[in-house]
Amino acid sequence: MGRQWGPSMRAAEQAGCVVSASRAEQPEEGLWSCSGVILSRNPVLVLCHGGIFTPFLRGGSGALTAAGATFLPGDSCGDDLRLHVQWGPTAASVAGRKEPGRPGLCTPRC
Amino acid sequence: AGLEPCKAAQPHGRLLQPPHAAELLLLLSCPAFRAHFARLFGSEAAEQWRFASAAPDEEVSGEEEEDQLRALGWFALLRVRPGAEAEAACGPAVTVAPLGAVAKGAPLLACGSPFGAFCPDIFLNTLSRGVLSNTAGPLLLTDARCLPGTEGGGVFAARPAGALVALVAAPLCWKAREWVGLTLLCAAAPLLRAARDALAHLPDVAALAALLPPEVGTPRGLPLRGPGPPWAAAAVLVEFGSVWGSGVAMAPRLVVTCRHVAPREMAKVLVHSANPKSVAIWGCVVFATQETSPYDIAVVSLEEDLEGVPMPRPAEYFHEGIVASNTRDNNTGATYPHLNFSIPITVLQPALQRYHQTGDLGGLRELDRTTEPVRVVWRLQRPLPAIPRSKL
């Protein structure tokens, strides 16, 4: 991708993550997921899209368009919300944890 | 549908971190983004826009689609439970480009995970390059390809190097059932300011505001729209009744556009230019190729000069041309603007020059008599094999 993109690629892959939301009592319902950005590392703060939280809003999606609503506190979603964040090795192994000789990507059984 | 979540990679694959539990701190939106979105896409006339991640003909309930639209400008701030390895690292994970620091046309890098958590081994942090295609306050558009699941993914600039510019708000835009190859973004700087304001209202997490990443690089004057790159100034909007399309100003009173925009010779069209100032000038269609010609071209002569518009200098050799048509999949109705039949400007240049200097349309008339190979390509057909003649 050329030299001009080196720093951006590193920043992007270190900050990139996947966020998934599911219901504690109803895992069979499946999960909602989207992408996200790691904003800080200690503690790990992540910014992601709000669309995956709509099914969990106590007041329904109408709460998002209520007049003057610019933010909703965390407890505006139900207690059965379970969130998980997953990121790649570059984000976690900041210092020297590369396994020499291992390919970056291969065709895992998916 | 039909996708199954993948388990974390097998040991011989890419070592993904196991998912870490997290908590929702708050849901937030950028008021300015929502105001611009409502202004651009919320009116009756703009009703044909859709930002749902499903293709127009996929079954999505009206309620579900409404939910998606309501959530379009909303983002979530999460805190990962203690114990996650990343905690060992120190310092901000990203820096943020102030609103206005990245100019229209500048290169961007989108990083998201298509299909979200369904197959992170393959799709986690997929990169896609594009440019900042257009802006309206914190509402940005890019032509970097983004797929469903990349909502919330980061979009980064080459300059300032690696700075976060925006997050993906809607990867797919549909207009009148046609996929418009642009992705809707929400600028990161105003969004993080909104996050700081919101955290200040929540005493038990207010201290986290200090951990949000700083803005780096100085904004280049606002509004973003600025003059943009000089070659962009030659792009004009051509309006003929209810039909509109793009065109290129080749001389102060000469505009080239497509025949399907200005189909009839001697018809009057209105040409809009936004750079250096917003003007609308009437013009007359002096030439339009016939429907059967592969060269979907029309030439407009303006009633006044387009003042201050830098005129493009046609290239000697070509690998670019004027976009004459997009490619449309008649089965799904999707149109792919990045798959085009383009006409090399060197094919048009001699005829345009002859008309510009002498007013003679002869050279342009030649465009109606093209060779068969060009016609076959235009029709996206395979060249017909030479059919052996029967000796009977």
Chain A residue with minimal CA distance to B121?
Answer: A108
Q: C-alpha distances in angstroms, A96 versus A7, B18, B134?
A: 18, 19, 40
For residue A71, give the nearest of B67, B151, B198 by CB distance.
B198
Sequence letter at residue B80: V
* Model pLDDT, residue B48: 72
Q: What's the average model confidence in pLDDT over B110-125?
A: 85
Residue of B nearest to A46 (CA): B78
For chain A, what is the mean pLDDT? 79
Cβ of A85 and B191 within 8 Å? no
| Binding-face residues of B in 156-195 toward A, CB within 8 A | 156-158, 161-164, 167-169, 188, 191-192, 194-195
Task: Average the pLDDT over B327-350 and give the result.
Answer: 74
Q: What is the mean pLDDT of chain B?
A: 82
Q: Is the pLDDT of residue B51 over 70?
A: yes
Q: Find residues 75-104 of chain A whose CB sits inside 8 Å of chain B.
A: 76-77, 81-89, 91-94, 99, 104
Q: Is residue B29 within 8 Å of B74, Cβ to Cβ?
A: yes
Is the model more confident about B391 or about B344?
A: B344
- The candidate with the shortest Cα–Cα distance to B85, out of B22, B21, B17, is B17
Size of interface A-B (CB pairs under 8 A): 308
CA distance, residue A95 to nearest chain B CA (Å): 9
- Residue B4 confidence (pLDDT): 40
Choose between A98 and B206: higher pLDDT. Answer: B206
SS3 sequence, B207-260?
HHHHHCCCECCCCCCCCCCCCCCHHHHHEEEEEECCEEEEEEEEECCEEEECCC
Asked if the C-beta of A71 comes within 8 angstroms of chain B's C-beta atoms, the answer is yes
Candidate from A10, A35, A61 with C-beta closest to B112? A35
Task: Give A23 to chain B, closest Cα distance, Å.
Answer: 13
Phi and psi angles of residue B115, each rounded to the nearest 5 degrees, phi first:
70, 15
SS3 A63: helix
ipTM of this complex prediction, to 2 decimal places: 0.83
How close A19 gets to chain B, by Cα (Å)?
Answer: 7
Q: Which of A10, A77, A82 sits opposite B162 (nearest CB)?
A: A10
pLDDT given at position A94: 40
What digits encode the pLDDT tens for the residues B352-369?
999 999 999 999 999 898
What average pLDDT does this structure show over B308-330?
Answer: 74
Give the per-residue pLDDT at A43: 86
The answer to whether the bond into B276 is cis (omega within 30° of 0) is: yes
Residue A51 CB partners (closer than 8 Å, separation 6+):
A32, A34, B67, B68, B71, B72, B74, B151
The minimal CB distance from A18 to the residues B86, B124, B212 is found for B124
Asked if the C-beta of A23 comes within 8 angstroms of chain B's C-beta atoms, the answer is no
Per residue in B233-274, pLDDT (tens digit) is 889 999 998 888 999 999 999 999 999 998 889 999 999 998
d(CA B221, CA B226): 8
Q: How far does B147 lie from chain A, in Å, by closest CA?
A: 11
| Closest alpha carbon within chain B to A61 | B67
Q: What pLDDT score was predicted for residue B232?
A: 77
In this predicted structure, the answer to whether residue A26 has a pLDDT above a threshold of 50 is yes
Q: Which residues of B touch A82 (CB under 8 A)?
A: 21
